[in-house]
């Protein structure tokens, strides 16, 4: 029989619970519970906390699932996950997640700084920037090789050539490479050269791309869409986590509002709010968030004061000549001063600005 709008198919109910293991649960008991969760047709995510291990169990609801899991050996309790996002939520993992990718450490008290040009333009531009930002204490090098441009006539990036230049800059400076991937077709190529794959604001809700980066062995920097709510950002992160990649860094890069004095509006309350809701580290991008170089150092300092786990900023040897986003890029000298200021603020709130 053909289903009509009058007779909708009832959606399946979601089962999402955490199986909290006892403090002294053995690895065998944990493994046994993972098998029981999967035997019930649910997906399991093991989260090893400092105090206890929990297993998130997510899938289609069936009768008696909770009771069946509660009876397992070594299980302390089975509790529902109330947030719409599951693996991303603080309910599942109270301790903050630290993401480590090469020289870049972000989260759990360490502030990582990812600095570099908006786009990779040529060898000299990239390597001189990499050397300068490294000397100032940055731990990651940014630079787009695949650029999402509003106009098809604007510079689109050097593609694989740009990725090779980024890898060469890492070779010389040791800086971890953070670069954008725009399409599922390019995930393997970008992952071959990068330490962290950036999913840009325009792709935050490209769910096939989120799934693809969830399946690789590289950290992901997920930027908030310009019109996305925080729940939508967290649900986008959930797509990546759900595929088994735990190394997700969230990025507030500003949202579109009625305000026009800045390119986007940069809401810093996002930082403490996300810290309440998720264990994932939060990075702030004051370059895209303001769109004006002269506003970037102040907002970088404010982001550190608000508790951000990292910064991502645009730096160019000659901003006026940049092929993209020059008007929001710092010179080396402006970046040095920003770093000095952020290091002082970090120290004042018992955080450590990496490489300082
Ligand atoms: C960028 O980092 O250069 C970029 C394009 O950022 P966003 O996706 O936040 O616009
Ligand atoms: Mn840019």
CATH value at residue 332: 3.20.20.70
pLDDT tens-digit map of 8-62: 677 789 999 999 999 999 999 999 999 999 999 999 999 988 889 999 999 998 8
pLDDT band at 354 (very low <50, low <70, confident <90, very high): confident
Ligand nearest to the CA of 143: 1
- Measured by CA distance, the residue closest to atom 4 of ligand 1 is 200
Domain that holds residue 221: 99-353
Pair (216, 288) in one structural domain: yes
- In angstroms, what is the span from residue 224 Cα to ligand 1's centroid? 10
Ligand nearest to the CA of 223: 1
Given a cut of 70, whether residue 222 has pLDDT beyond it is yes
pLDDT tens-digit map of 189-200: 999 999 999 999
CA dihedral sign of residues 60, 66, 71, 77: positive
- Measured by CA distance, the residue closest to atom 3 of ligand 1 is 118
Pair (67, 127) in one structural domain: no
In a domain, 246, yes or no: yes
Q: Mean pLDDT over residues 332-339, rounded? A: 98
pTM across the whole model: 0.95
CA distance 96 to 108: 6
CATH value at residue 44: 3.30.70.1140
Of 103, 138, 143, nearest in space to 300 by CA: 138
**Ligand 1 atom closest to 223 (CA):** 9
- In angstroms, what is the span from residue 288 Cα to ligand 1's centroid? 7
Answer whether 148 contacts ligand 1 (Cβ < 6 A).
Answer: yes
* pLDDT, the chain, mean: 95
- In angstroms, what is the span from residue 288 Cα to ligand 2's centroid? 6
In a domain, 241, yes or no: yes
Q: Mean pLDDT over residues 140-151, rounded? A: 97
Q: Domain boundary residue among 22, 53, 80?
A: 80
In a domain, 300, yes or no: yes
SS3 312: strand
Q: Mean pLDDT over residues 242-262, rounded? A: 97
Pair (56, 110) in one structural domain: no
- In angstroms, what is the span from residue 200 Cα to ligand 1's centroid? 5
Maximal C-alpha separation, the chain: 71
In a domain, 320, yes or no: yes
In a domain, 89, yes or no: no
Answer whether 316 contacts ligand 1 (Cβ < 6 A).
Answer: no
Pair (236, 263) in one structural domain: yes
In a domain, 56, yes or no: yes
Pair (110, 259) in one structural domain: yes
Given a cut of 80, whether residue 356 has pLDDT beyond it is no
In a domain, 9, yes or no: no
Pair (286, 148) in one structural domain: yes
Q: Domain boundary residue among 80, 110, 136?
A: 80
pLDDT band at 1 (very low <50, low <70, confident <90, very high): low
In the chain, the percentage of residues whose pLDDT exceeds 90 is 92
pLDDT at site 264: 98
Q: What is the domain count for the chain?
A: 2
- Measured by CA distance, the residue closest to atom 6 of ligand 1 is 200
Pair (272, 132) in one structural domain: yes
- Measured by CA distance, the residue closest to atom 1 of ligand 1 is 118
Pair (124, 18) in one structural domain: no
CA distance 270 to 276: 10
**Ligand 1 atom closest to 200 (CA):** 8
Answer whether 275's CB lies under 8 Å from 308's CB: no
- In angstroms, what is the span from residue 287 Cα to ligand 2's centroid? 8
Q: Mean pLDDT over residues 108-115, rounded? A: 94
Pair (73, 176) in one structural domain: no
- What are the CB-based long-range contacts (under 8 Å, 24+) for 50-54? 50/95, 51/23, 52/20, 52/21, 52/22, 52/23, 52/25, 52/76, 53/21, 53/25, 54/18, 54/19, 54/20, 54/21, 54/92, 54/93
CA atoms within 13 A on the CB side of 265: 11
Taking a 5 Å cut-off on Cβ, the residues next to ion ligand 2 are 118, 325
- In angstroms, what is the span from residue 174 Cα to ligand 2's centroid? 23
Pair (210, 308) in one structural domain: yes
- In angstroms, what is the span from residue 256 Cα to ligand 2's centroid? 16
Answer whether 45 contacts ligand 1 (Cβ < 6 A).
Answer: no
Answer whether 144 contacts ligand 1 (Cβ < 6 A).
Answer: yes
In a domain, 93, yes or no: no
Ligand nearest to the CA of 289: 1
Pair (220, 316) in one structural domain: yes
Pair (232, 341) in one structural domain: yes
């Amino acid at each position: 029989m053909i289903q009509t709008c009058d007779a909708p198919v009832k959606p399946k109910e979601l089962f999402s619970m955490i199986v909290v293991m006892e403090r002294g649960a053995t690895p065998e008991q944990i493994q046994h519970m993972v098998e029981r969760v999967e035997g019930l047709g649910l997906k399991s995510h093991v989260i090893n906390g400092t105090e206890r291990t929990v297993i998130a169990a997510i899938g289609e609801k069936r009768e008696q699932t909770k009771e069946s899991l509660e009876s397992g050996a070594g299980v302390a309790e089975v509790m529902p996950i109330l947030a719409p996002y599951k693996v991303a939520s603080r309910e599942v993992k109270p301790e903050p997640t630290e993401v480590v990718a090469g020289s870049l450490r972000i989260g759990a008290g360490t502030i990582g700084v990812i600095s570099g040009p908006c786009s990779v333009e040529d060898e000299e531009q990239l390597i001189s920037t990499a050397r300068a930002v490294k000397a100032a204490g940055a731990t990651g090098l940014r630079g787009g090789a695949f650029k999402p441009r509003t106009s098809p006539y604007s510079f689109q990036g050097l593609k694989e050539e740009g990725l090779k230049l980024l890898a060469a800059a890492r070779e010389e400076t040791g800086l971890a490479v953070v670069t954008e991937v725009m399409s599922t077709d390019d995930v393997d190529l970008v992952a071959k050269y990068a330490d962290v794959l950036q999913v840009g604001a325009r792709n935050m809700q490209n769910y096939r791309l989120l799934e693809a980066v969830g399946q690789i062995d590289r950290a992901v920097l997920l930027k908030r869409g310009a019109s996305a709510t925080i729940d939508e950002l967290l649900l986008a992160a959930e797509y990546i986590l759900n595929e088994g990649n735990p190394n997700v860094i969230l990025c507030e890069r500003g949202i579109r509002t009625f305000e026009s004095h800045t390119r986007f509006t940069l809401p810093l309350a996002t930082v403490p709010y996300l810290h309440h809701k998720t264990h994932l580290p939060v990075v702030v991008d004051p370059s895209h968030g303001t769109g004006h170089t002269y506003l970037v150092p102040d907002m970088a300092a404010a982001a550190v004061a608000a508790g951000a786990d990292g910064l991502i900023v645009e730096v160019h040897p000659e901003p006026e000549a940049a092929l993209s986003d020059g008007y929001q890029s710092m010179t080396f000298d402006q970046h040095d001063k920003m770093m000095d200021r952020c290091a002082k603020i970090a120290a004042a709130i018992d955080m450590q600005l990496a490489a300082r």
